[in-house]
Amino acid sequence: MSSEPPVFISAAEVERLLPRASLLLPGLEAALCNFSAGAAGGVEQPLRAVVPVRPHGGFLGVMPAYSAADDALTTKLVTFYEHRGDSAAPSHRATVLLFDPRCGSLRAVLDGTVITAKRTAAVSAIATKLLMPRSAEVLCILGAGVQARSHYEIFTELFPFTEVRLWSRTEQHALRLASSVGGAVRVCGTAREAVVGADVIVTVTMATTPILFGEWVKPGAHVNGTPCSARLRAPSLWGAIACSLGSVQPLAARPAFLPAACTDTRCAHGGSWSRRPSSASFAASPFLSVPFVSVSP
């Protein structure tokens, strides 16, 4: 077995090797299926551990996993500092460690920022491909950061939207993103203006209070919440949700993220579905441990 030092792959090199998030789709779809298959899928993934860094208002997330199908042993480390408005430093930084599963030696260290941005958007795209209305025309993105850009790129590559709407709590950020992407984007003055009438809604914002309300969402619309927290926890939005989870464990351990309609674990494994008269679904990424939400009010 090799005793060579681990390879370091920078963000620039990751970007060069992975120019489009859509390149991840086949591998992610296979990984999601393996994870949802339980023990037969050969994926071992404990719950994400989160270490508070209280003196500095930060967190360290540790996300290990082993995939027998790929014979891959890896861990992603993510640091998160929410209140950094006075700093040019990013709120999130990620590093991926790849180990030799035969002996545990470290084989590679990858900058995880680009990987996280594109992988998260790709999993959203998988959920959207399966669950959005067939006649979807209007895409709404709430947020204007890294995830907003990555979601815009893959969603406009894969789906024939005729209109893209963008809203951010900081209008300047929305205008900057709109001017830098390749297609036409309508910057909206309010979240409500962006949401009403949209067929697919993506929330990619660090807002800590609700920004999306159920009465705004048209019947049949699809919502991707990335990540899903207070910004989606409006009773009028969650009231009619039923769910389908790859695994209930991450959310069962974090009940604040689990809508009341998702507490029945019978609908929460292996892609099974629970329907209500106002139906919806709740699809979770095995490598993200935050939910993606599809809402059909």
- Percent pLDDT > 70 in the chain is 73
pLDDT grade for 173, boundaries at 50, 70 and 90? very high
- CA distances for 228 relative to 11, 14, 17, 201, 224, angstroms: 26, 27, 29, 13, 8
Domain with CATH 3.40.50.720 in the chain: 117-295
Taking only the tens place, the pLDDT of each residue in 89-113 is 778 899 999 999 999 999 999 999 9
165, pLDDT greater than 70: yes
Q: Spell out the residues 6+ positions from residue 172 whose beta carbon is closer than 8 angstroms to its own.
A: none
Region 230-255: mean pLDDT is 46
> 158 or 295: whose pLDDT is higher?
158
Specify the CATH number of the domain 7-115.
3.30.1780.10
Domain with CATH 3.30.1780.10 in the chain: 7-115
29, pLDDT greater than 70: yes
Q: Output the pLDDT for position 5.
A: 93
Region 49-69: mean pLDDT is 95
Q: Output the pLDDT for position 258.
A: 44
pLDDT grade for 188, boundaries at 50, 70 and 90? very high
- CA distances for 86 relative to 117, 159, 161, 178, angstroms: 23, 37, 36, 23
Q: Output the pLDDT for position 89.
A: 75
Q: Output the pLDDT for position 249.
A: 53
232, pLDDT greater than 90: no
278, pLDDT greater than 90: no
Region 150-155: mean pLDDT is 98
Taking only the tens place, the pLDDT of each residue in 35-44 is 989 889 999 9
Region 48-70: mean pLDDT is 95
Q: For all residues of the chain together, what is the average pLDDT?
A: 80
Region 253-271: mean pLDDT is 37
Per the listing, tokens 């540790």 go with 62
Specify the CATH number of the domain 117-295.
3.40.50.720
84, pLDDT greater than 80: no
296, pLDDT greater than 60: no
Number of neighbouring beta carbons within 10 Å of residue 185: 21
